[in-house]
Chain A
């Protein structure tokens, strides 16, 4: 198993390097940023030559080197944990990330827990009660949840819950007594609802489909014939084998929640988390910050896959590393 983990870790490093290199090149060769264009335009209107203005902008950003120098400087910095200075935030990139992840985590974590627990529970119930009214209702909920665009749903919730009912704040502010305060929880209700709704729906559909494979399996019938209660049959003989593929989905889902859903939700509710920071970094072409915000999901994806493989063996002893 040690050799396997070492091999996987080496693969992790290689995959991360490839991802970062591609991202670096994409940013480096992309057209001038909106902020850069605005700067150049202002200088040109003041009488400066466009080429000079571009050069001045590059100088102000400290981008005066060649692509190769910029690339090697960045990679060396990355390995030595000198991730550079964010030009948008005028802070070291690590400080920006350290100051922002908690804002994402505080609504992504509850949304993930809610969606996994409720999604799996409803999916399992739906599978064991196939073609009942409850199953149809759950299916309707799932399709509605998956189909609702987060962007639209968030704005609707703001209008109904914030403007008309006046139950919830419309936007997120850091001006609260603390992360664990009631005020903070109150302003996170709408983001958590938006994020968990679509996630519950997808978890539920997966859980239902995977569980259905085992509902009519021979060993389940045997378990029932042995006189086990319906709950025992559902949890031990249906849910446990269904968990193996569901774990795979779970890793992907958490990543999706964090880095796709969070982008939209943090933008609309103005939550200064990783999604909003990454969005601002891309818009401002803040290369060190874009690369750092790319690095994090890459790490989570790769380590998540590792954890997922280890979970496989715990849930299904038939899977061994030696077979790979």
Chain B
């Protein structure tokens, strides 16, 4: 099933199920127009605004979240006081539901209590596929039975989607294979430029857990496309003629978190100490050694291609171990200091920091080992602790200080920078939020600045505010921002994409040309 809409490589709105939108001057009321050619499978008829409003108001905004929907938070907003005409979404009156109303057969509005200029770009309605036919949903809504809804065959198998997707699922073997054939009634064919969409006749998604099997299958031509790990990218690009490699920027920042809570090393609470540690790490080397050049050094939680990244605001801490050592020596909090070129505590005992990292990828271990050696160069002893990713999150990051396992540095978690709407990162810096599990105390009010930016109707003002935020973060170094990796996609050379590499890769896949492979 298609998403509500997409963005192209230039971040322009690309219509899909939602064809058009309008917003009022103060960004509090958004009006969306749906395609008139959408049909659910029998017996549900045309896809109308009534279906969308029903799914949002009765399922996502349902009483006590009866459906256990994880997207419910997207459809409400923090407020000082719930304004007239809005419903409270919590007992304390600090949250208000958005008003979602049908205003025409194919038109609905979303009204917010406060301006929300980034609503279109935030991952709320963009990519939205949680709409189901009202007639199908009614039974579950009346019984408020989330389990029955989740287990329903039609919902599980997406068999209600009619002509709303480019393909019709023929075979669905979970964790194994999905086969889908071209949907000749595809609603998008009613629009200019899409008369033949999708160009691909048949599409098979094959699960292949083992990387070497997957790459062998791509090399031999048994599959058309697979992601390629950085260490094999050059080989596929240069030595295998039948495969083309596409490098796409990503939105995920690979970082090393500093534990600034009470259970972390006190030194990490000092910004100058964090700056020194960032200077001690050669991020260019990480890009070359760990990512084989397929990454870009990060200086803040924003990739340089984002509209909100401003060179004049961002501080870049170049690799300089001597300067790092000097800065560390000058800024260590009492009673820490240097003795015999090593960082020691008040008793003269060497400080040993604990670096926990995820065992889910070799890259993470290599990164940890390189950083360990670099820290050793500035006299800081670091012990490595490799744990499963899920354990790292659950037992270290998302446990309260005192209850959590011991850690000072952490890596192996990619964080979305939301380059189109960075306000979505607010929780990373807000003290007390789970997303700020490393305990950043936000002395410059970055979280509030992001929250304010989200309500700014003036585009220039918003841009300036966000650029300032990324400047502060680059200077304060709440994380050691390491790099933004690239996604490397290998395709057989009979595939001709209609788009340029971007974070939106595959948004236009229905128009890609596929020649018969020789």
Interface residues of A (CB under 8 A from B): 31-34, 36-51, 53, 56, 59-60, 62, 85, 88-91, 155, 158-159, 162-163, 166, 169-171, 173-175, 267-270, 272, 276-277, 280
Chain B residue at smallest Cβ distance from A59: B68
Minimum Cβ distance to chain B for residue A268 (Å): 5
Question: A270, B434: Cβ atoms under 8 Å?
Answer: no
List residues of chain B with CB within 8 A of the CB of A174.
Answer: 171, 173, 176-177
Question: A40, B393: Cβ atoms under 8 Å?
Answer: yes
- Given A59-B68, A60-B68, A166-B220, answer yes or no on A171-B393 (Cβ-Cβ < 8 Å): no
The 4 closest A-B pairs by CB, nearest first: A37-B390, A50-B434, A50-B398, A272-B176
State whether the Cβ of B497 lies closer than 8 Å to any Cβ in chain A.
no
- Given the complex of chains A and B, what is the CA–CA distance between A48 and B437 in angstroms? 12
- Given the complex of chains A and B, what is the CA–CA distance between A175 and B171 in angstroms? 9
- Given the complex of chains A and B, what is the CA–CA distance between A50 and B398 in angstroms? 6
Partner of A47, one of B147, B213, B394, B427: B427
Secondary structure at the A interface, as helix, strand, loop or mixed, is helix
Question: A50, B177: Cβ atoms under 8 Å?
Answer: no
Question: B222, A171: Cβ atoms under 8 Å?
Answer: yes
State whether the Cβ of B513 lies closer than 8 Å to any Cβ in chain A.
no
Question: B70, A39: Cβ atoms under 8 Å?
Answer: yes
Question: A44, B435: Cβ atoms under 8 Å?
Answer: yes
State whether the Cβ of B237 lies closer than 8 Å to any Cβ in chain A.
no
State whether the Cβ of B73 lies closer than 8 Å to any Cβ in chain A.
yes
B residues 134-188 in Cβ contact with A at 8 Å: 146-147, 150-151, 156, 171, 173-177, 179
Chain B residue at smallest Cβ distance from A38: B390
- Given A45-B416, A47-B73, A59-B68, answer yes or no on A270-B207 (Cβ-Cβ < 8 Å): yes
Minimum Cβ distance to chain A for residue B30 (Å): 19
Question: A162, B220: Cβ atoms under 8 Å?
Answer: yes
Question: B216, A50: Cβ atoms under 8 Å?
Answer: no
Question: A47, B435: Cβ atoms under 8 Å?
Answer: yes
Q: A-B pairs with CB below 8 Å: how many?
A: 128
Minimum Cβ distance to chain A for residue B363 (Å): 17
Question: A49, B213: Cβ atoms under 8 Å?
Answer: no
Question: A62, B147: Cβ atoms under 8 Å?
Answer: yes
List residues of chain A with CB within 8 A of the CB of B175.
Answer: 88-89, 272, 276-277, 280
State whether the Cβ of B311 lies closer than 8 Å to any Cβ in chain A.
no
- Given the complex of chains A and B, what is the CA–CA distance between A159 and B213 in angstroms? 9
- Given A39-B70, A90-B174, answer yes or no on A171-B435 (Cβ-Cβ < 8 Å): no
Q: Which residue, of B174, B389, B395, B433, has the highest number of chain A Cβ atoms within 10 A?
A: B174
List residues of chain A with CB within 8 A of the CB of B73.
Answer: 43, 46-48
- Given the complex of chains A and B, what is the CA–CA distance between A50 and B212 in angstroms? 36
- Given A89-B174, A174-B176, A269-B213, answer yes or no on A163-B390 (Cβ-Cβ < 8 Å): no
Question: A163, B70: Cβ atoms under 8 Å?
Answer: no
Minimum Cβ distance to chain A for residue B417 (Å): 11
Give 10 A-B contacts (CB < 8 Å), ordered by A residue: A36-B390, A41-B393, A43-B73, A46-B70, A88-B174, A90-B174, A171-B208, A269-B213, A272-B176, A277-B175
Minimum Cβ distance to chain A for residue B346 (Å): 34
List residues of chain B with CB within 8 A of the CB of A44.
Answer: 398, 427, 434-435, 437
State whether the Cβ of B501 lies closer than 8 Å to any Cβ in chain A.
no
Question: A85, B151: Cβ atoms under 8 Å?
Answer: yes
Question: B174, A170: Cβ atoms under 8 Å?
Answer: no
Partner of A56, one of B70, B208, B428, B433: B70
State whether the Cβ of B204 lies closer than 8 Å to any Cβ in chain A.
yes
List residues of chain B with CB within 8 A of the CB of A155.
Answer: 210, 212-213
Question: B219, A270: Cβ atoms under 8 Å?
Answer: no
